[in-house]
Amino acid sequence: MADSAGTVFDVVILGGGSGGYACALRAAQLGLTVVLVEKAELGGTCLHRGCIPTKALLHAAEVADSSRESDQFGVRSTFEGIDMPAVNAYKDGVVGRLYKGLQGLVKSRKITFVAGMGRLVSATAVEVDGQRYEGRHVVLATGSTPKSLPGLDIDGTLVINSDHALKLDTVPSSVVVLGGGVIGCEFASVWKSFGADVTIVEALPHLVPLEDDQASKALEKAFRKRKIGFELGARFAGVERSEKGVRVGLENGKTIEADLLLVAVGRGPVSQELGYQQVGVEMDRGFVKVDEHCRTNVATISAVGDLIPTPQLAHVGFGEGIMVAERLAGLDPAPIDYDGVPRVTYSEPEVASVGITEERAKEKYGEGSVESITYDLAGNGKSQILRTAGFVKLVRQKDGPVVGIHMVGSRVGELVAEAQLIYGWEAYPDDVASLIHAHPTQTEAVGEAHLALAGKPLHAHG
Ligand SMILES: Cc1cc2nc3c(=O)[nH]c(=O)nc-3n(C[C@H](O)[C@H](O)[C@H](O)COP(=O)(O)OP(=O)(O)OC[C@H]3O[C@@H](n4cnc5c(N)ncnc54)[C@H](O)[C@@H]3O)c2cc1C
């Protein structure tokens, strides 16, 4: 059965976040008829509760640091404090403009946008408020929500998650951040710049534990210098209300008092009670299982974004959405190489990487078959101008291509574009060493690291 007008669409997409709307835009571009169902706001987590608002806060944090530290550059200014309602107005303005642009884009591509809570009711149909939308194909893109730990209740005022953290209208005087992954480190960085006392609690031995060990350690060093506290290898035991706000207990016996506890222990898929199991879609711990082309076990159903067990990044959602749209339009898109997806933690300093860590390279190629080099930003003019410390580290298969690039320092997120080309091109250090980089830029550090690994260091000892 089709909708009331008897239409059978080419694609019905459930969820209008990064994965879902990218799929919709590309499918429409390829001439397919598309329904996009969204229960909240088009743009999803990334636009409204994730990438964009956090990066606006991080930019405000950078401005605060610049004004507070302007003396270092011979510029006299006085830092008077953070006007949180004004910061939020700036952040919401950015989100609002992008939201409006995205709505216009969806409209201009003639996508049928349906506002409402959708449910999968068959292998080819989604129902919204009693209305059925039938498609030749269905794409599930319902995304993720913040997780908590067993017995840890998020009350939204003293114990909060990232959704609440983005709505605070004051700067807390102190915060405990539970979880030293990307989201935890970014909020810790913002709040420290805004003047709060911050302590991160991480159960694993390092901050940003998915990154190369050396990058994690450099971030820890920088955070220590910024007086951001952290407890590593420390497991959360419990939280109780205290006069100040919260008293957070750790299994190692320590307690930390703060105004707030931010729980940033990861995000889980939104897949419950949406009809997925009933229609026979195979799942694993709430994630929808897919093959390398994002096909589920049901021939007409695909799934993309945070709902599937691939890296939880907006640009991964975009890539998967585009790949699915192209496949459904009869093209032959290549599967995604997830190691080749760039990853950035936008804290101060930033951590950026592409490819695999040195540890993984050793597992993959053998201990003796991996070479690495670390180019210190101390030798890079622009980084000295910015007064940032850090490095560009290269990991290569011995006598083979560069397989991992790992960077720490202010603004190194912007260098990841070149790094991803190098990785994707399977470049040898000599290939990159022969490219002249503009002076003085931080990109030179990428060039210099390759010069050094090719055995001809310029501004480096060795
Ligand atoms: C604080 C934070 C910071 C982040 N920063 C970055 C970053 O800097 N860079 C980056 O790449 N990634 C970042 N991310 C991750 C990024 O936001 C996600 O990877 C991305 O949004 C996933 O896209 P998605 O489409 O899979 O899911 P979502 O964006 O979650 O979208 C899913 C959509 O489906 C809708 N939906 C769910 N169920 C239904 C239903 N039954 N009916 C109708 N609609 C439904 C939801 O309302 C939602 O709009 C961040 C995330 C957070 C939380």
Run of H or E residues at 25? helix 18-29
Ligand 1 lining (C-beta closer than 6 Å): 14-20, 37-40, 44-46, 49-51, 54, 117-118, 141-144, 162, 183, 270, 274, 305-307, 312-315, 317, 346
Residue located via tokens 């597992």 = 363
24: exposed, middle or buried (Cβ count in 10 Å: 0-12, 13-18, 19+): buried
> What is the SS3 assignment for 219?
helix
- CA 23 vs. chain centroid, Å, equals 19
Task: List pLDDT tens digits, range 405-416.
Answer: 999 999 999 999
* Inter-axis angle of helices 416-424 and 443-453, nearest 10: 40
Query: What per-residue confidence (pLDDT) applies to 462?
Result: 63
For the chain, the helix, strand and coil percentages under 3-state DSSP, each to the nearest 5: 35, 25, 40
Task: List pLDDT tens digits, range 312-348.
Answer: 999 999 999 999 999 999 999 999 999 999 999 999 9
Q: What is the DSSP string of 42-56?
A: TTHHHHHHSHHHHHH
Q: Do the beta carbons of residue 435 and residue 428 sit within 8 Å? A: no
Q: How far apart are CA 145 and CA 143, in angstroms?
A: 7
Distance 137 CA to ligand 1 centre (A): 22
Q: How far apart are CA 306 and CA 398, in angstroms?
A: 35
Tokens for 434, please give them. 């022969």
Query: What per-residue confidence (pLDDT) applies to 78?
Result: 94
Across the chain, mean pLDDT equals 97
pTM as predicted: 0.97
Active-site position among 59, 315, 437, 439:
439
Tokens for 265, please give them. 């222990």
- What distance separates the 2 farthest-apart alpha carbons in the chain? 73
Distance 117 CA to ligand 1 centre (A): 16
pLDDT-based confidence at residue 238 (cuts at 50, 70, 90): very high
Residue whose Cα lies nearest atom 47 of ligand 1: it is 40
Q: How far apart are CA 160 and CA 400, in angstroms?
A: 47
Q: Do the beta carbons of residue 65 and residue 77 sit within 8 Å? A: no
109: exposed, middle or buried (Cβ count in 10 Å: 0-12, 13-18, 19+): middle
- Has residue 169 got a pLDDT over 60? yes
Q: Average pLDDT of 166-173? A: 98
Nearest ligand 1 atom, CA 274:
41
Cis amide linkage into residue 349, ω under 30° from 0: yes
Tokens for 104, please give them. 């216009």
* Count of beta carbons in the 10 Å neighbourhood of residue 461: 7
Q: Average pLDDT of 353-376? A: 98
- Has residue 1 got a pLDDT over 50? no
C-alpha closest to that of 423 among 448, 450, 442: 450
Cα atoms found within 13 Å of the Cα of residue 394, Cβ hemisphere only: 31
Torsion, Cα 366 367 368 369, to 10 degrees, reads: 40
Task: List pLDDT tens digits, range 114-167.
Answer: 999 999 999 999 999 999 999 999 999 999 999 999 999 999 999 999 999 999
Per DSSP, 157 falls in state: S
Q: Do the beta carbons of residue 416 and residue 342 sit within 8 Å? A: yes
Cis amide linkage into residue 440, ω under 30° from 0: yes
Distance 266 CA to ligand 1 centre (A): 13
Distance 383 CA to ligand 1 centre (A): 33
Query: What per-residue confidence (pLDDT) applies to 5?
Result: 62
Q: Do the beta carbons of residue 29 and residue 109 sit within 8 Å? A: yes
Q: Average pLDDT of 80-109? A: 98
- Has residue 461 got a pLDDT over 90? no
Share of the chain above pLDDT 70, in %: 98
209: exposed, middle or buried (Cβ count in 10 Å: 0-12, 13-18, 19+): middle
Strand partners, 351: 345, 408
End-to-end CA distance of the chain: 71
Per DSSP, 30 falls in state: T
> What is the SS3 assignment for 119?
strand
Nearest ligand 1 atom, CA 165:
1
Query: What per-residue confidence (pLDDT) applies to 4?
Result: 57
Q: Is 439 marked active-site?
A: yes
pLDDT-based confidence at residue 7 (cuts at 50, 70, 90): confident
Residues in the chain: 462
- Who's near 28: CB < 8 A, 6+ residues apart? 34, 109, 110, 111
- Has residue 2 got a pLDDT over 60? no
Nearest ligand 1 atom, CA 116:
43
Residue whose Cα lies nearest atom 17 of ligand 1: it is 46
Distance 416 CA to ligand 1 centre (A): 22
